[in-house]
Amino acid sequence: MTALLDQPAFEAPERPAPPRSFAAWWAAPPLVIVLLAAVYPLIRVCLESTKVGDTGRGWSTWVGVLSSEVFRDALWRTVAIAATSTVGCLLLGTFLAIVLAFVPFPGSHLVGRLIDTVLALPSFLITLAFTFLYGTAGAANAAIAGLTGADSPVLNFLYTPAGVIAAEVTFFTPFVIRPLLASFSMLPRAQLDVAASLGASPLRVLRSVVMPEAWPALMAGGSLVLLLSLNEFGIVLFTGAKGVITLPVLIYTRGIVTFDLPGAAVIATVQIALSLALYTLYRVIFARVMQGRGNHEKEVATDVVVDPAK
């Protein structure tokens, strides 16, 4: 029996690694799809923006579009609406996520399912619902007129930038709630119990324990909402606000209504550059925040190790 134990164990034969040249071919199909479906149309749009006349090339279209007051107003209004909608979504989404995660109430599961349903709806349905509720002939104005006897509609904000912001906040808030709920679900319950047992108030527990762990999810949801609201077209179009001209609406007007394809391509190129710049800024800020959190955790771990040694 000792002789059997002394015999070396047989190791399983190693499988030869696939050739690198063959493995590289697996990246070719998705790369071709990305080039054809995303990169090539963007290149065509950029080339179309330099088109002058039928065959000429130049920058006169760029100069004309960028120097127009309509473009500058649309650019400013697009950024202002997107930034305001993002702030509104962050505030409302954070509040609703905290309530759903830490304040149990009957029907909370149903509310979560309704939030998931909103994610599956097209954006123009929210605008139609707002029209039926808050339009000049909507249910809210009809109820107010029945109570007060007013002849003119009291609520008349739907066809203004405030109406567009309210619709975007309603539609994009679930994109903030879902990442926060996922982050809250991964938070150890023991941390909350220890903080509460040490006498910390609920507000301090939320500020010192919960929200630091939710910062990555909050930034991810906020960046997604910012990019989506920056490129939103359906809500602005179906709202019918005459004074609300954003870059997507201006692209539609130049390209479809007036058939000014080079001018529409210039605005689309600016829209692409703006979206990429905001995404790059988000990645830089997110990397610095995560690096700062990592350094802070290392310092805390070092203090914990050094203190027992003392």
Residues 6+ apart with CB under 8 A from 167: 123, 126, 127, 130, 235, 239
More reliable by pLDDT, 173 or 157:
173
CA distance 82 to 239: 16
The pLDDT, as a whole number, for residue 303 is 46
Contact between 151 and 127 (Cβ < 8 Å): no
Mean per-residue pLDDT, 19-43: 79
Q: Can you name the residues that pair with 57 across neighbouring β-strands?
A: 51
The continuous run of DSSP H or E covering 51 comes out as strand 51-52
Nearest 5°: CA angle at 205, between 199 and 210?
A: 155
CA distance 233 to 213: 34
Contact between 75 and 222 (Cβ < 8 Å): no
CA distance 265 to 9: 69
Give the Å distances, CA to CA, from 112 to 54, 95, 143, 206. 55, 14, 29, 21
pTM over 0.85: no
Give the Å distances, CA to CA, from 296 to 15, 101, 301. 44, 26, 9
The pLDDT, as a whole number, for residue 305 is 43
CATH 1.10.3720.10 fits 68-289, yes or no: yes
Contact between 210 and 131 (Cβ < 8 Å): no
Q: What is the pLDDT of residues 198-214, one digit of tens each?
A: 777 778 877 888 888 88
Looking at residue 27, the DSSP 8-state letter turns out to be G
Q: What is the pLDDT of residues 88-126, one digit of tens each?
A: 999 999 999 988 888 877 877 788 788 878 878 888 888
Domain ranges of the chain: 68-289
